[in-house]
Amino acid sequence: MMLDVLVGLVAGLLILAGVLVMLGPNAKSLFRRFVSLRRRRPSLAVFQPSRPRELASPGLNPKTQRVLVAASRLGNWLRARNQEELARELRTAAGRITSDEPAGLYAMQTLLRRLRLLSIDDRGAQERLKALSNELREAVQDRFEQLELLPFRRP
C-alpha cells in the first residue's frame, strides 16, 4: 500500500517535470498567469450596467470631437429605437471622419438629410430625434465652416 502511493507520487512528479520541459522558457510566465487568475476576485463593476461609449479620439480637433460625440449619442439612440441601418450608416460616417474628414462630413450631411424624413409615432421620441439631429447638424456645420469646405446650406 505504501509502495503504491510512493510509485504514484514519483510518476506524478515525472509527468509534471515532462510537461514543464515541453513548455520550456514559457513555463514561468504561464505559471504567473495561472496564479494571477486564481487571485482575482470579481469586481462589483461587473454587475453595473454599462454606459454607452461617447468618447472621441484625443488627437482630433475639438470641433471634430464634438461631431463624433453628437454622432455617437444619435447612433446610440437610433440603435435603442431599432433603427439599426441608420445607426450603422452613422457609425460608418463617423469612422470615415477619423480617416478622411471631408468625406466623412459629407457622408454625415447626407445622412442628416435622410434623418429628416424619418418619422416616429411617439411624439416624445420624435422630439428627441429632432434635438439629437439638430445637435449633430450644428456640430457638422461648425466643422464645415472651420474647414472652409463648400458652404453648408442653413435650413
Q: How many CB atoms lie within 10 A of CB 90?
A: 24
Residues 6+ apart with CB under 8 A from 52: 72, 76
Q: Under the phi-then-psi rule, with left for phi > 0, alpha for psi from -120 to 50, and beta for the rest, what region is 41?
A: beta
Tell me how far apart the alpha carbons of residues 75 and 87 are, in angstroms, rounded to a whole number.
5
What separation in angstroms does the CA of 79 have from each of 71, 76, 88?
Answer: 12, 5, 9
What pLDDT, in 10s, does the model give residues 85-124? 989 999 999 999 888 888 888 999 999 998 888 888 888 8
Write down the residue that cell numbers 416616429 correspond to. 120
Tell me how far apart the alpha carbons of residues 15 and 42 are, in angstroms, rounded to a whole number.
33
143 pLDDT more than 80: yes
Q: What's the whole-model pTM score?
A: 0.58
What pLDDT, in 10s, does the model give residues 125-142? 889 989 999 999 999 888
Alpha helices in 81-147 (DSSP H): 84-99, 101-117, 123-147
Q: What is the pLDDT of residue 76?
A: 92
Please tell me whether residue 78 adopts helix, strand or coil conformation: helix
Total residue count of the chain as it appears in this document: 155
